[in-house]
Structure 1
């Protein structure tokens, strides 16, 4: 009888997840939402109409709707319908006051109409101001989820300080080479060129000020989640305990979720079949993510460098990732190399590709999701960062974790060829040893009893406690 009363007094927690409208932000937050659902939490994923449509084209979202207690709620992203072709050019349109006000209005309406009511909101760090302002009206706590690495996030905490000290903007070559001493714990790691790319903007630039404002707001959240694991970024993770009462490290999230995957999202196995025909550790996987848009010249430099290296490669290259619209690049690339030496595809199941024994290296844009996926599979990286947090990640890959090579600032066929040969042919022992060690630690962290698994259990327990206090 007492047990029955206790059950009635323990409402099911309802978590609302609010991502920033960009694929690199949406994907890890969607994975976390699936985990919430699998662990018995009511979960509402508040995605923008635009990205819900895009996601539906890339994956089978109908499978998600069959997950227990998982729901999509579509709201506006506030941006006009005719966005630029290159996704990074659309970023400023998502952060205008008008766009943010529209998102806040629809989030407010969503929270007001939820049944059962929301227990908490897990908000992307770049949605902190909106989330905190709106949830204050409902008395709902906010948990921040920063989809960058802990190291890059720590650097953004000191953006305002770097502006005040004149470190920002980093624009001339002398600034690029200068060591940064303004960030506690990273004094001997970062140079000007390794700071987030927004640090090259003038202090009054709206994008830089947006990051400063959102980071300041994020630090007022009740706790923070990172898609990382303790052994990878422990010194920096511990520093966040001086800001947040609770810090959860749940990475690699895709590995944490793997035991719950029952079917693949895509039946296209062309690239896997091609990989099956190659010997172990002989293929270089190439992908620059969903945001980077290459010029014709950049594509051709990479193409010649890859071909001249003599190493087999699998390159994910979509039409919308090339600025040139004349078809020349596509024609040259798809007919300029024997089929057994190179394969170009519009899409690849990246986690499956990186786990394939034939893959021995990854030429990447150094986005955090790709970096973490590569580390967890023990695949060494060649980093070619361009935007956002990628410059910090590439520096950490080469100098902190020693799991790859940083090709920052270079897009030359000779350099590409030499980098590929260095990684794939010379088989550097220091990199191979570090990648194997990091992969082992990543995989141990997500096992039951591992650091990331324990943090997930703590997070879910804390959310359940919130539902009792509401």
Structure 2
């Protein structure tokens, strides 16, 4: 089967640049699917512009970028899909991120099977899917928002308003709110939804969703073997933390990372820095140069490098899966991005949850309340060094640490079983493939 992957030009550029820097290659010196093709997969790819220059900072110009996604990017995708359907053999399916709201018109225009790819947990999907219920009941888009427990979302036993996604807790008039609303109107026109979760982690929610439309849990989608993938995915040059980690005792190191997109304040970075010192834990801390939403680069306490000379390693980026899977790592202070949570579970590493935006608040609920494999760092905008140190100790040492380790072993086993031969994810993927083939034949 031939697969053609469309990469956003900016993402493709950043990945290839980081790979070139890591391997000391010249710009443009790699083909990101070269290794995957050696395994026999016929994967081809083309890049498509989102309408902005490569140097445009999409995360710091958030609203402007999403206006472009709504009004400009769709035209570029339409143009390149139109060319691909004329190729030999022609494409017959469009697999596209749920938030790209132009999927249905393009799929209809070119008679393609419309497959929506949901990259977050089913709980977040169903909250957006039922925004109308949240609005009717006064928990969203209401001047006097209710603060009581939400019990009326189909498949969700209960959820606190503070565990809703950030966009369901804030002013509903932004461009992102318009995009989300449009996406979850459009999702009802998709032929299939595939999701990066598993049936066993969210059984009741997934069962209810399947009553509305075909919904297949095919996760966890992780790099091959959770080590170096045959397809490069990192958008920054990676530091090698292995030699430093090799010098540390088993389970003694806390890994800290807030992902590739989210930002936080200088105050919180300083408090985390002091909290790490108070906890007396070894740590690897990923601090992106743009972690603070400003031009300020000097945001750590004066002389911090000297204070952590033996206990800490600070890097701009690293291979997260390699660090999490290292025996020395015993905890993860995370922003609760869904990929980070899945990787942490797969590596058996309990979490300290520090959500910053979007789905991360809801993901925290799953980690802390439902699966009991981590602690909640805070419920307010700023954190203190004392609570940071206390939570680090809770996860990294003592009876509570042992409890978290036991619980995450159980959840890890659940993921492994889902991916095993005959597991739920494999069965769902096989069923999805058969259903897509039937739909293609019907469309012809």
TM-score normalised to structure 1 length: 0.82
Question: What SS class does the counterpart of residue 186 from structure 1 fall into?
Answer: coil
1:65 maps to which of 31, 34, 39: 34
Tell me how far apart the structure 2 counterparts of residues 88 and 217 of structure 1 sit (CA, whole Å): 27
In the other structure, the counterpart of 1:52 is: 12
Identify if the C-alpha distance between structure 1 residues 200 and 259 changes in structure 2 by more than 3 Å, giving closer, same or farther: closer
Contact persistence 1:256–1:453 (CA under 8 A): no
**Structure 2 counterparts to residues 340-359 of structure 1, below 5 A:** 340-359=310-329
3-state SS of 2:285 partner: strand
Which residue of structure 1 lines up, in the alignment, with residue 137 of structure 2? 165
How big is the alpha-carbon RMSD for the aligned residues of Structure 1 and Structure 2?
Answer: 2.7
Q: Is the 8 A contact 2:331 2:395 kept in 1?
A: yes
1:308 paired residue among 278, 283, 289: 278
* Cα separation, partners in 2 of 1:265 and 1:152, compared to 1, 3 Å: closer
Q: Aligned equivalents of 1:277 and 1:259: distance in 2?
A: 20
Residues 88 and 291 of structure 1 are in contact (CA less than 8 Å); yes or no, is this contact kept in structure 2? no
Once residues 102 and 250 of structure 1 are traced to their aligned partners in structure 2, the CA distance between those partners, rounded to angstroms, is 30
Matched, 1:253 2:221: yes
* Matches for 1:35-434 after TM superposition, within 5 Å: 41-59=1-19, 62-66=31-35, 67=37, 68-79=41-52, 83-84=56-57, 87=59, 89-96=61-68, 97-127=70-100, 129-169=101-141, 175=146, 177-188=147-158, 190-244=159-213, 246-254=214-222, 261=229, 270-329=240-299, 332=302, 335-407=305-377, 408-409=379-380, 410-428=382-400, 429-434=402-407
**What's the CA shift for 1:235?**
1.5
1:125-154, CA deviations, whole angstroms, 9 ceiling, x for partnerless residues? 111x31110110121111111111111111
Give the number of the structure whose residues are more often helix, by fraction: 1
- The verdict on how the C-alpha distance between 1:69 and 1:463 changes in structure 2, with shifts beyond 3 A counting, is farther
Instruction: Rate the CA distance shift 1:153–1:49 in 2: closer, same or farther, 3 A.
Output: same
Q: 1:138–1:431: structure 2 CA closer, same or farther, 3 Å change rule? A: same
Secondary structure of the equivalent of 1:242? coil
Task: Verify the 8 A CA contact 2:98 2:183 in the aligned structure 1.
Answer: yes
2:7–2:46 Cα contact (<8 Å) kept: yes
2:423 to 424, 446, 450: 450
Separation of aligned partners in 2, 1:382 and 1:139: 46
Aligned length: 424
TM-score, normalised with respect to structure 2? 0.87
More divergent stretch after superposition (329-338 vs 303-312)? 329-338
- In the alignment, the residues of structure 2 paired with residue 426 and residue 92 of structure 1 have an alpha-carbon distance, to the nearest angstrom, of 47
**Residues 124 and 362 in structure 2, CA contact (< 8 A), matched pair in contact too:** yes
State the alpha-carbon separation in 1 of the partners of residues 351 and 249 from structure 2: 19
Q: Give 1:441's match in structure 2, choosing from 414, 420, 426.
A: 414
TM-aligned CA deviation for residue 462 of structure 1: 3.5
User: CA 1:414–1:169 in structure 2 vs 1: closer, same or farther (change >3 Å)?
Assistant: farther
* Distance in 2 of aligned mates of 1:434 and 1:332: 39
Stretches of structure 2 lacking an aligned partner (at least 5 in a row):
21-29
Q: Is the 8 A contact 1:294 1:323 kept in 2?
A: yes
> 2: CA distance between counterparts of 1:164 and 1:108?
39
